[in-house]
Amino acid sequence: MLKFFQKPYRWALIYTIIMAISITYVLLDTFVIPQAETRIDISSETEDTENNDTESNDTSYAIITENSYEDENIQITIDTVREYDTNVYIANIQVSDVSYLKTAFADNTYGRNIKETTSDIAEDNDAIFAINGDYYGFRNYGFVIRNGVLYRDTAGEAGSEDLVINSAGNMSIIDENETDIQTLVEDNAWQVLSFGPTLINDGEITVTASSEVSKSMNTNPRTAFGQVSALHYIFIVSDGRTSESPGLSLLELAQIFYDNGCNVAYNLDGGGSSTMWFNGQVINNPTTNGDTISERSISDIVYIGY
């Protein structure tokens, strides 16, 4: 046994095995092993309660069609159009209160590598309409405030832009590295999503033909949403990576929001994650791994419901 360890190459073999085991564990821990986490305890008068009182989840008096929904608090109309040789799904949504614009986590749990499909998360939360969110669980940075509760206060790299939806339902763009998260909490921010980039701000398109999400192709399935006016929103999902629909560039996506009258618009997780769900059905054609029409499991959704 002693002679075994006296051979230099054998020490190298042992070291290689240990390193391989360590690297494998780190990769599994980062990308595979589910890890529930806790919210951040920052005092706020409304931290433990919903932003506003809402009606009970009674949709029995709603008028529902294949592409629309209407009750006294929520109006939804979904149109499918061809833009830039791609199928684009545009949801025009108005609500009577920001509390009907909600977010939800996979398995109703905040944490890393906890994933479900948009459909499953939407159904678990009795959503009427939903899109995939910002896939916060794939990163360990980026502000996370959901339904008025702070979960993560770690800023990303310089220039990281977040979308903030305040207690009145208005959207604005912030730079994480220039924003005090305590101030957002004290101001009762309702939702903060961190993906980007910003597509429109103050009524002006903010991306160019060369803008793109890191490590992404120039045309992709896309998910984004924006604001026209108080409590009036536009949600857009596009198909992509198929022979029928190559997808959209960020500039093309921004132009569609601009043409629909948005003053603010923000890009969310796209590619295989891009999913629009309405009244129990997936509306678009999600592409997993670039060639299969199926939903990808994700960490969170943005939805409309009670």
SS3 178: helix
DSSP sequence for 83-136? ETTEEEEEEEEEESSGGGEEEEEGGG--EET--B-HHHHHHHTTEEEEEE---G
Whether pLDDT at 180 is above 50: yes
Comparing 51-55, 82-86, 176-180, 205-209, which segment has the lowest mean pLDDT? 51-55
**Cβ-contact 25, 33 below 8 angstroms:** no
Taking residues 169-187, report their average pLDDT.
96
* CA torsion, ordered 305, 286, 273, 24, to nearest 10 deg: 140
Question: Quick one: pLDDT at residue 51?
Answer: 45
Percent of the chain with pLDDT over 70: 77
pLDDT digits (tens, 9 = 90+) for 7-26: 565 555 655 666 555 555 44
Taking residues 163-185, report their average pLDDT.
97
pLDDT digits (tens, 9 = 90+) for 245-254: 999 999 999 9
Domain boundaries, the chain: 1-33, 41-305
